Structure 1
Amino acid sequence: MIQRIQSVYLFFAFLMSAVLPFVFHLWKLENGQLFYFMESISYTILLGLSSTLAILSLLTYKKRQQQFVMNRLNMILNLILLGLFVYRTLNLPGETPVSEKGIGMFLPILSILLLVLANRAIKKDEDLVKSVDRLR
């Protein structure tokens, strides 16, 4: 059913990857210009895939195992995205043009946290269904 707690977690994970990157910038460049995710094609693709997986997982509420797997893939995508953010800000050769980090860099961390909570709730539902099946 769609009114389960993991649906709420998945909806908020969708918001973290689809809506909030348009609001919050990733970092501020030295010249004062704000850098949003849309300025890099790799960030755009990864955030698009992440939001697509979150909404697909939300809509496949009848298939708990498939939901669980999609959430794991979404966590991996968010980790890759977070790794790209860290690489961009810390490990570029020479001077990096990044002067201030924005709150947008922390959105994948919050999304991963919400996906972990959703997977815990899915696991709890799956265990409940298995225990009821044993009684039959």
Structure 2
Amino acid sequence: MLQRIQTIYLLLVVIVNGALPFWVYLWTDANGAAVYAESDVLYSALFIASAILAFITIFLFKNRKNQFVLNRLNMILNLFLLGFFVYRSLVLSGEINISEKGIGMLLPVVSIVFLVLANRAIKKDEDLVKSVDRLR
């Protein structure tokens, strides 16, 4: 059952969190140099953990409840990552005026949207299976 729509959404999360943070810059520092996810261990570890969790979730198609729970856990992980970005951009001294935020800071938001869409599709499948079981 890998041909379901939630598999596509989860593959998009794997791409967004596994590859894009290392190609698009997260922000530029005071010197104008682009900062990527690989320059900070915390950011790269959280992006890779989210991508691995989404990849593992793809193959749990037989157990939709575990798939749903792991997607929610992945959403929480992406919210932490987004929180770290907000903290870094707003609290650190001088960062509001000096650095420029990149498109990479929006990657957790994009992956959260895809995870929500995947959870909606999983819920729809679960409801369909429950309705068919009532007919038997």
Alignment TM class, shorter chain as reference: over 0.9
1:24 is paired with a residue whose SS is coil
Which blocks of at least 5 consecutive residues in structure 2 are unaligned? none
Q: Which residue of 1 aligns with 2:95?
A: 96
Moved beyond 3 Å, runs of 4+ = none
User: What whole-Å deviation, never above 9, does each CA across 1:68-126 have from its counterpart, x for those lacking one?
Assistant: 0110000000000000001001112x322851111000000000000000000000000
Q: Which amino acid aligns with 1:96?
A: E
Which blocks of at least 5 consecutive residues in structure 1 are unaligned? none
Separation in 1, partners of 2:122, 2:128: 10
Residues 1:43 and 2:43 aligned together: yes
Separation in 2, partners of 1:18, 1:12: 10
Under a length normalisation based on structure 1, what TM-score does the superposition of the two structures give?
0.96
Separation in 1, partners of 2:39, 2:99: 17
Separation in 2, partners of 1:83, 1:108: 10
User: What whole-Å deviation, never above 9, does each CA across 1:15-54 have from its counterpart, x for those lacking one?
Assistant: 1100111110000112111101111111111111101110
Q: Which residue of 2 aligns with 1:133?
A: 133
Under a length normalisation based on structure 2, what TM-score does the superposition of the two structures give?
0.96
Q: Which amino acid aligns with 1:95?
A: G
Separation in 2, partners of 1:47, 1:111: 10
Q: Which amino acid aligns with 1:71?
A: N
Separation in 2, partners of 1:28, 1:45: 20
Separation in 1, partners of 2:108, 2:43: 11
Q: Aligned Cα RMSD in Å? A: 1.1
Q: Which residue of 2 aligns with 1:22?
A: 22
